[in-house]
Structure 1
Amino acid sequence: MSIQQDKLEQLFERLDELRGYLDYDKRKVRIIELQEQTQDPEFWNDPEKAQGIMRQLDHQKSLVERWDELNDLRESIRVYQQFQEEGEDVQAELDNEVETFMEKLEDLELQNMLSGEDDHRDAIVTFNPGAGGTESQDWGQMLFRMITRWADKKGFDVSVVEYQDGDVAGIKSATIEVKGDSAYGFLKSETGTHRLVRISPFDSNSRRHTSFCSVFVSPIIDDTIEVDINDSDIELQRFHSSGAGGQNVNKVETGVRLIWTGQLSDGTEERVVAECQQERSQLQNREKAMVLLKSRVYELEKNIKEREKQKLEDSKSSNEWGSQIRSYVFHPYNMVKDHRTEHETGDVDSVMEGDLDEFMKAFLMSRVAEQSV
């Protein structure tokens, strides 16, 4: 590839602008502060809090190091340009450096869009197939696999918190925990109803079916966030775990389901269910289920605040829970289209294999555009 000098200078200007957007200097100060905390002899007395600080430190260092790497690439490009001016044949090396620079710049610009107060957090993703029996339950499992594959490609840790098999195929419901840098920031784009159109593999007459599955993503909260929930509003249910964990897990009622029925800040009544069956003891499952429950209530309250901020805007309700956000068409043609951003692709297979970055990027860019209006 070959790029004109004025285009290259525009890329360099974007890098300089990105330094300001990232609050580069403030982040370097924050890194020093966090590193000082890790030197405290009592730092690991509270492992959960310590791990949270370490994740913050890794996040801050990652952004600073990635900008530094781009700055080094810029200098490398300029050196190759000097060699070229002196008559040396370094076009291939120069093109390679420029291509790498462009890719890494776009990646860091995307990361910079994750500036929400909770974007840096890990995520809980819940899948709930809609009405339609086997069709919707099979679709739910396909979405479960799609998002899990995306997380695997990112190098994120995925653990199954709850998983209920469908009657014939697919899932009745499932919940996963995704841990990784800005997992929630990326995955929040997936909250909403996903619609599938295909020739049903379960229909002997090969008719076309439309299926729906709701996906709900919430940030995993920690002790820095308080969510007030009255114990009297929570119903505790125990059940036999059906997931992995050995015979003991299945013999004993280790699975825990918490059901909270209460009122949100806008006066609406809400019923939130959280369950966990991944741990070996009922106590551990109860503690995990309580974290999930509070995280979901926290996300619902966040949605209320966001809706209040957008009351004066046109009815852009596509980001709200329960709305149809994306369509996946397998027949009579191949297309995946996001109804919020109009981003679409005909490569359905790649999307179902977890290639969601372009959809996530379009969503984040649309949010940034909305906020700048």
Structure 2
Amino acid sequence: MRERDELDVAVKTVRALETGIADNVELIELGEAEGDEEIVRDAENALVELKNTARRTQIETLLSGEVDGNDCYVEIHSGAGGTESQDWANMLLRMYTRWAERRKMKVETIEMHDGEEAGIKSATILVKGHNAYGWMKTESGVHRLVRISPYDSAARRHTSFSSVWVYPVVDDSIDIEIREADLKIDTYRASGAGGQHVNTTDSAIRITHIPSGIIVACQQERSQHKNRATAMNMLKARLYEMELQKREEAAMAQSASKTDIGWGHQIRSYVLQPYQMVKDLRTGVESGQPSVVLDGDLDDFMEAALAQRVGVATDVAAEE
């Protein structure tokens, strides 16, 4: 049913593009015949929007990975730097939430640790929507912020770092063996909002997978049992994503044009002072409006990073 729905959306999108192009070309001809410049201008603007839609749709058709169509978890961790870094992590959390809302996706908070004064130390959200992982996977890496810190009484410029990790939700049809002996399970009291029960009982769960060193945590539910089930699903997803990454790196290594896609590397800089600029260090895509980008306008950056990844993967396939 999911595959049928995806195909239905693809067909409807193509038909809408065809209809939009035909209608606006006809409007331009009509406007020129009647000398109505406003009709011509509106139709031309509509064609530009259709072109952008066609470009986005073309890239989306390249989301053919095993789990590109799945929902995804997004983990955000503040780097060294105290309150400034924690505030930056919170800004990233807001940015991705706004991006998801723009695309009519749902966002659920799985786990969050507040900062001492402001911001967050870490957070995990679940993004639910069509091709959520396919789009979001290019956001994994280290994000750098340069600004005059509002938390510095001397108004000095600060550089802060936060890391983002994106991994897909995997369903029960994927068999991943996790041995109980490989797990260390801790319980603790949840922090932040959630009511008296959440904050006074050890309902939050932290699971450490000893062989891989992966740690997942969940404090979403009041029930320790439900939090454990969610954390196990997250661990399963992280282990599966690790295997996907190994396969991708093995394939990319065959290409001389391989780019560094390591999840732990800096991928983007957001400069608010002394000038205004957001620059993706992998693709070179820039924006002179960081406030707009931080409000969730990430499509240009995601499209370029995705096209680059797919382009390299295509080169590998051609050589094979």
Alignment of 1:1-373 (within 5 A): 34=1, 55-77=2-24, 80=27, 87=33, 92=40, 94-95=43-44, 98-262=47-211, 270-314=212-256, 316=258, 318-373=260-315
CA RMSD of aligned residues (A): 2.2
Distance change in 2, residues 1:237/1:154 (3 Å): same
Deviation of 1:77 after TM superposition, in Å, equals 4.7
Which secondary structure state, in structure 1, belongs to the residue aligned with residue 66 of structure 2?
coil
Which secondary structure state, in structure 1, belongs to the residue aligned with residue 167 of structure 2?
strand
**Aligned residues of 2:257 and 2:312 also touching (Cα < 8 A):** no
Aligned to 1:31: none
In structure 1, distance between residues paired with 2:117 and 2:24: 58
> Which deviates the most, 129-138 or 233-242?
129-138
Deviation of 1:336 after TM superposition, in Å, equals 0.9
Which secondary structure state, in structure 2, belongs to the residue aligned with residue 114 of structure 1?
coil
In structure 2, distance between residues paired with 1:176 and 1:118: 18
> Which deviates the most, 162-171 or 200-209?
200-209
Distance change in 2, residues 1:317/1:69 (3 Å): closer
Which secondary structure state, in structure 2, belongs to the residue aligned with residue 193 of structure 1?
strand
Question: Percent same amino acid at aligned positions?
Answer: 44
Deviation of 1:122 after TM superposition, in Å, equals 0.5
Larger radius of gyration: 1
Deviation of 1:107 after TM superposition, in Å, equals 2.9
Q: What is the TM-score of this pair, normalised by structure 2?
A: 0.90
Which secondary structure state, in structure 1, belongs to the residue aligned with residue 50 of structure 2?
helix
**Deviations, residues 274-322 of structure 1 (Å, cap 9, x unaligned):** 1111112111111111111111111111111111112233584532111
Q: State the aligned residue count.
A: 312
Deviation of 1:216 after TM superposition, in Å, equals 0.1
Instruction: State the AA in 1 paired with 2:6.
Output: H
> Which deviates the most, 253-262 or 306-315?
306-315
Q: What is the TM-score of this pair, normalised by structure 1?
A: 0.78
The runs of at least 4 consecutive aligned structure 1 residues that moved more than 6 Å come to none
> Which deviates the most, 73-82 or 282-291?
73-82
**Aligned residues of 1:128 and 1:214 also touching (Cα < 8 A):** yes
**Deviations, residues 172-211 of structure 1 (Å, cap 9, x unaligned):** 1110000011111111111001111122222222222211
In structure 1, distance between residues paired with 2:187 and 2:286: 43
In structure 2, distance between residues paired with 1:198 and 1:100: 34
**Deviations, residues 53-97 of structure 1 (Å, cap 9, x unaligned):** xx4443232112111222333443565577679x56675375365
**Aligned residues of 2:255 and 2:312 also touching (Cα < 8 A):** no
Deviation of 1:224 after TM superposition, in Å, equals 2.4
**Deviations, residues 306-363 of structure 1 (Å, cap 9, x unaligned):** 1111223358453211111111112221111111101111111111111101100111
In structure 1, distance between residues paired with 2:55 and 2:272: 31
**Aligned residues of 2:69 and 2:130 also touching (Cα < 8 A):** yes
Higher relative contact order, structure no. (Cα contacts within 8 Å, ≥ 6 residues apart): 2
Deviation of 1:242 after TM superposition, in Å, equals 2.1
Instruction: State the AA in 1 paired with 2:19.
Output: D
In structure 2, distance between residues paired with 1:168 and 1:245: 19
Which secondary structure state, in structure 1, belongs to the residue aligned with residue 210 of structure 2?
strand
